[in-house]
Amino acid sequence: MRFRYDFHTHTVFSDGELIPSELVRRAKVLNHKAIAITDHGDASNYKELIYKTTLAKEELKNYWDIQLIVGIELTHIPAKSIPKMAKKCKDIGAEIVVVHGETIVEPVEEKTNYYTSLSEDVDILAHPGLIDDETAQNIKENNNIFLEITSRNGHSLTNGHVLNIARKYDIPTLINTDTHAPSDLIDIDFAKMVGLGCGMTEIELKNSLSTYPKKLLQRIEK
């Protein structure tokens, strides 16, 4: 597992510290094969965010051997609007849609995880906190959403619970950073420690760092 994949990062276009080029450059130095920019979006700005990241992708692909994925993180939006908003994002060019899950350290609306699980257009449920069995069963049946194991402070407090739910329902996991600042990006060795720290086996770790990221990339490339 030589390469790193990260599907959850932010730039100055939401609450991050870096412009897309610097974020991608720093990821390349840390041996990332692919990185998604998933700035915080809602009905007011999703078009602008997807457009700006697409511009960055079209330019950078001519020079650097790293895949920039056009994404968005639907954040603190009304739970019932998630399926509709996710489809709108995909329809205008988002390659992946992340939903800001019910982390225990922010006042995310109740049922955000549940309505995410009903969407055919969401790819990743980020830091889902104390995700419940009903939501996990929906995700299992729909077979389209990855659960996030995160290195981000606060959100990572429930990694162990998320992993146990993923095991119970055979849901694929991804180890992401939720990067906002340069120091948030991690290399493959630190990512391994994040996985091992929440109790992953070696096989689960390999899947989260290599097998499942490649599966998501194959979906994007179809």
**48-76 pLDDT per residue, tens:** 999 999 999 999 999 999 999 999 999 99
Q: Which tens digit of pLDDT belongs to each residue from 119-156?
A: 999 999 999 999 999 999 999 999 899 999 999 999 99
* Cβ(33)–Cβ(4) below 8 Å: yes
Task: Give pTM, 2 decimals.
Answer: 0.97
How much of the chain exceeds pLDDT 70, in percent?
100
| pLDDT exceeds cutoff 70 at 1 | no
pLDDT for res 101: 98
* Cβ(147)–Cβ(172) below 8 Å: yes
Q: Which tens digit of pLDDT belongs to each residue from 85-122?
A: 999 999 999 999 999 999 999 999 999 999 999 999 99
Number of domains composing the chain: 1
42-49 average pLDDT score: 98
* Cβ(213)–Cβ(7) below 8 Å: yes
3-state secondary structure of 9: strand
| pLDDT exceeds cutoff 70 at 16 | yes
pLDDT for res 58: 98
Give the domain extent around 87.
4-221
| Pair of tokens at residue 81 | 């609007």
pLDDT for res 203: 98
pLDDT for res 222: 77
Whole-number Å distance between alpha carbons of 166 and 164: 5
184-201 average pLDDT score: 98
Q: Which residue in this structure is represented by tokens 């990221």?
A: 213
**What CATH number does the domain containing 133 carry?**
3.20.20.140
pLDDT for res 98: 98
pLDDT for res 29: 97
| Strands 173-176 and 146-150, sheet pairing | parallel
